[in-house]
Amino acid sequence: MPVNTPEPGSAGLHSVIAKRWSPREFSRRPVDPAQLRSLFEAARWSPSCFNEQPWRFVVATQERPDQFARLLSLLAEKNQAWAKDAWVIGFTAARKTFTQNGLPNRFAMHDTGAAGVSLAAEATARNLYVHLMGGFDAERARTEFAVPDDFEIGASFVVGHLKDGASSPVARSRKPLSELVFDGAWGNPAEI
Ligand SMILES: Cc1cc2nc3c(=O)[nH]c(=O)nc-3n(C[C@H](O)[C@H](O)[C@H](O)COP(=O)(O)O)c2cc1C
């Protein structure tokens, strides 16, 4: 069962982990292009099986209102309501096969998720915020942006500055480590 836990900072975690959360209040303040590029550099340097780098990102900023609107329209309405204010919007996709031999890469989405976390960590270090979303029309994303069949659509996301005076996260909860980390047998809480 999820439990209310103290803020992650209290576990002594590094600030790039402790300070990350998923806001629903963004400012329309532009993200500096060099900073934005650094986020994707961080994703680029993520680990991946056979160094396949299966991740791809389709993105737009508010600087291109037409492109931003196209991506925003893919989101579920409840996500659109707040995502519209973020400076950057996009979605991820993962190449399902290895380039070298065409065999299935069962780690493709795993590694694409890892790249997303690298991006979020770099964002947090730069006082930027990322919010990932599964609530979007992945099939329409495929058609609209001509995503090839060999790629699986991942998650949508926004990146931006937090709105001034935005409320801090409330009642964040996490499963206890005893439900997540095992030792000796499945389900047996590890003594860590
Ligand atoms: C793959 C994925 C899909 C998500 N989908 C949505 C979504 O559609 N709408 C939303 O508001 N939040 C969405 N979230 C955000 C989660 O609800 C959030 O990460 C979780 O509650 C933990 O909160 P935190 O990120 O603030 O720690 C999604 C997160 C992930 C990783």
Q: Residue 72 belongs to a domain with what CATH number?
A: 3.40.109.10
Amino acid at 88: V
Residue 185 lies in a domain: no
120 lines ligand 1 (CB under 6 A): no
Residue 183 lies in a domain: no
Residue 155 lies in a domain: yes
For residue 23, report the distance from its CA to the centre of ligand 1, in Å: 9
**Percent helix / strand / coil, the chain, rounded to 5:** 35, 25, 40
Residue 40 lies in a domain: yes
Q: What is residue 3's predicted lDDT score, i.e. its pLDDT?
A: 40
Residue 178 lies in a domain: no
**Stretch 165-185: mean pLDDT, rounded?**
93
Range of the domain at 130: 24-164
- Mutating to test ligand 1, I would choose from 132, 137, 153 the residue with most ligand atoms within 8 A of its C-beta, which is 132
36 lines ligand 1 (CB under 6 A): no
**pLDDT tens readout for residues 65-115:** 999 999 999 999 999 999 999 999 999 999 999 999 999 999 999 999 999
Residue 5 lies in a domain: no
Interatomic CA distance for residues 33 and 36, integer angstroms: 5
Q: What is residue 7's predicted lDDT score, i.e. its pLDDT?
A: 62
- For 123-134, b where at least 16 C-beta lie within 10 A, e where not — what string? bbbbebbbbbbe
Residue 2 lies in a domain: no
Asked if residues 136 and 75 have their Cβ atoms less than 8 Å apart, the reply is: yes
Interatomic CA distance for residues 168 and 129, integer angstroms: 12
The count of domains in the chain is: 1
- This prediction has a pTM of 0.95
Residue 49 lies in a domain: yes
